[in-house]
Structure 1
Amino acid sequence: MKEDNAELAESLSFAFLTLLECLSPTERAIFLLREVFDYDYPEIAKTVGKSRANCRQIVHRARQHLRRRRPNISLSLQHKEEIVEQFLTSWNQGDLQNLMALMAEDITFWSDGGGQVTAAQRPLQGCQKVARFLLSIRRSRLVPNLSPKIIQINEQPGILNIVEGNPQSTFSFDFSTSSIQSIFAVVNPEKLKAVNL
């Protein structure tokens, strides 16, 4: 494994996982073969049935995308916790402007229903669209008595949404500088079984 990519392979960060979600299965295979397993381009091209040049281009684009989306690793845990606390306060108060102020302009909201419950089929993008969507959830009669609280998810601050004493969803956050870059909502009941109240 290349030294400059060790961090990428060792820590499957949220940014890395969302990058993989954006790639087609073939693109994902090419990127992982190169970046994680250190295959050379002739081996990759033979394995996936694409040209070397095409494989190089796919890896190059994926690297660029990951660099743009990579969270600011210098952001302290305390700072992340403060941002999540401000997010929760703004969300609870229905404060659209403060909610948007905590988000990057190009924020992405992902959701995973696992095919078992209703979830957005495609990611939402843009701070106004994401903030309005989140406020619509908070005000929805379909989710009465929603009780969110801050918890640790993968050793990072996140939000657990509880309805009638049961986990309804979790929000994990990816940060860029001092704003929220991505939110990943898990509403899949199978995955929520592992959440401790």
Structure 2
Amino acid sequence: MALGRPASPEDLALVRKLLAGDETAFTSLIEAYHGRLTRLALSFVKTQASAQEVVQETWVGVLSGLKRFEGRSSLKTWIFRILINRAKTRGVREARTVPFSALGDGDEAEPAVEPERFRANGGWAEPPHRWEDDTPEALLLRGEARQRLEQAITELPPRQRTVLVLRDLEGVSAEEVCNIMGIAETNQRVMLHRARSVLHRALESYLDEE
């Protein structure tokens, strides 16, 4: 598996400041990543309190591991990988998830769209709802639609949920996601497609009820 992009000069400069005990640099790092780490942790654990504990453990891991940071990946990728390792352990302990290695083909087994939505000739039995002016961004502003999406994300298989959070909520590149999660690019693409399909269906259901 490719290691992805190496650390940038800015990453390396920041690491040097952190190793020198620069508190301002550490505060800036926390401000940049704490919320993002919390959202990612919530894809593994049940409660906000547990997520905050995972994030605190992650920061401890970051500080204790800085001397071993070799710059073979970006600092963001390295931090996210530490968080995921901590969160997986905590999630298993809470029976929230199982380790990635124990999931087997579970994420890949289900179809992206239900087969019954197609006719024998491959056409739609019932065409998808047209969003028209209801863009995803607009729908997210509606409280009920947002709740539907959040619930749909919570119910995703763990790896699909993590890929979706990293790609669509945190803006992490496909290459970085593969590096963080230790998966092939093809698997990343399939899991993201299936997760997005689930959210699309949740939005269709919401729109059909209006």
Larger relative helix fraction: 2
Q: Which has the higher strand share?
A: 1
> TM-score normalised to the size of structure 1?
0.32
Which structure has the larger Rg over C-alpha atoms?
Answer: 2
Whose relative contact order is higher, 1 or 2, with alpha carbons under 8 Å and at least 6 apart? 2
